[in-house]
Amino acid sequence: MDPGGATHADTASGGAGGAVGVRIQQTRRLPDFLQSVNLKYVKLGYHYLISNLLTLCFIPLIIVTLIEASQMNLNDIRQLWLHLQYNLLGVVICSAFLVFGLTVYIMTRPRPIYLVDYSCYRPPDQLKAPFGSFMEHSRLNGNFDDSSLEFQRKILERSGLGEETYVPEAMHQIPPTPSMTAAREEAEQVMFGALDNLFANTNVKPKDIGVLVVNCSLFNPTPSLSAMIVNKYKLRGNIRSFNLGGMGCSAGVIAVDLAGELLQVHRNTYAVVVSTENITQNWYFGNKKSMLIPNCLFRVGCSAVLLSNKAMDRRRAKYKLVHVVRTHRGADEKAFRCVYQEQDDQGKTGVSLSKDLMAIAGGALKTNITTLGPLVLPISEQLLFFSTLLVKKLFNETVKPYIPDFKLAFDHFCIHAGGRAVIDELEKNLQLLPIHVEASRMTLHRFGNTSSSSIWYELAYIEAKGRMRKGNRVWQIAFGSGFKCNSAVWQALRNVKPSRNGPWEDCVHKYPVKILA
């Protein structure tokens, strides 16, 4: 559970986030055609021209070659053949180098990693926690004073969460029962629920799994969560299993990266990535404001992802992994401590969120997209960015840096649903449209902050809405304690339809809903 990803920005900016309606009377005037043309048509034309510059340069060369070839007669072809015969040694050497180069390329090129399918756990209805029930339970358990109760009420109202999110069974009890047994039961319920659905939808036998990666930040029992899965599904004895702990909301992308690296080494196999968070033993029962926010934001959730390096799986796979970019700011002390598990003055354990969290997250995002940009942005955007940067450095420091248009690189955005303020800031700073952040907002509203699995609930929302088309690119971006910002880029291999028993199957028709600030 990474409240860092969840971001206390919801409380810091929640009040300021409330929109105040002000009617401003404007004088009628002609539209600024120059600005609109620059933004819409000239930029699109420039993007097309630069992106296809190499092709446009080769067209004259190809035309000249075709003209010369069409003018050759049989005698010219015979002379060319004789010339090649007299230079047999050169032909053989060139052919040998060509074969050697192709062999090296085929042997060393990265194997494509396919996302066959994934599953997101949908808890039973009895675990739903409407605001009224949440506040009544908080009052009855006797741990919170009036100030803390009022603080939690305000956070809930401004959080962007809806009335149908889920908390674990132990938190529905009065008093709560955050025992080890209850925590194990929560972990088994969500992990096995997601995996059962994944195996049913893909018809993959558990014995065929060669790599297993599980990530859960704050609950790491012995035996591990990965061992619980091995025991439940009787996975094979030589499975490569890993259990990632303490890595926060961005650990889902880290787990995908680790599984992808292992699939580069181990041929012809499957990898399963399970991303979850455990709430039962990590509920805070004190009155320190900065440690109360996770109680209001984090909810039950889990995802299970099936990856493959088998060429035969390309036909049925949904996506292909294109890039993973990871950024770690842990060397900076403020970044390292901005999301910190500790005890309060009364000895009660919780996760404290620093007031600098949003600034640190912004710095991590800037570093991450600086690395990701050259990999995904069209050359037109890269040239505009670097030329503006050069002008700013050499001539005029007041020139604003050009913000690349990531909408030219991606068709869909899955921004970690850590909190309303996080989504608001990324929408503004990346100049996204409301539809680009719709999946994140609706996931936050319907399921809350499910930590590292939230980006998969968002992808499921896009599929459930029927928006995923062949060739579309998806950008998954998540923030986590440490402090980390990680990105994964996927490309759709077909028009993707939602899988059976998806998390939005019974409610997608209700969305999008209008969320009042």
| Per annotation, catalytic residue among 414, 416, 472, 486 | 416
The residue whose two tokens read 């600030």 is: 517
Q: How far apart are CA 81 and CA 102, in angstroms?
A: 25
Instruction: Check 216, 278, 296, 445 and give the catalytic one.
Output: 445
For residue 49, which of 381, 328, 346 has the smallest C-alpha distance? 381
DSSP state of 218: S
Angstrom distances, CA of residue 486 to CA of 38, 232, 281, 282, 335: 33, 31, 27, 24, 15
- Angle between helix axes 146-158 and 289-297 (nearest 10 degrees) is 50
309 is catalytic: no
From the candidates 328, 338, 368, 472, which is the catalytic residue? 328
Annotated catalytic residue 509: no
Which neighbouring-strand residues pair with 276?
A: 302
Asked if 249 is an active-site residue, the reply is: yes
The distance in angstroms from the start CA to the end CA of the chain is: 25
465 closest CA partner among 488, 445, 436? 436
Q: Name the active-site residue from 120, 216, 249, 302.
A: 249
* Marked catalytic residue, from 278, 449, 472, 486: 449
> Which residues neighbour 176 within 8 Å (Cβ) at sequence distance 6 or greater?
137, 141, 170, 283, 285
Q: Provide the token pair at 451.
A: 């930590």
Sign of the torsion angle spanned by Cα atoms 68, 74, 75, 78: positive
**Which entry of 295, 412, 414, 436 is annotated as an active-site residue?**
412
Q: Is residue 445 annotated as a catalytic residue, yes or no?
A: yes
Look up 266 and say whether it is catalytic: no
Structure-block tokens of residue 497: 């339809």
For residue 17 the two structure tokens come to 């986030």
Strand partners, 415: 477
Among candidate residues 204, 211, 246, 248, the one with its CA nearest the CA of residue 226: 211
Active site residues: 249, 328, 412, 416, 445, 449
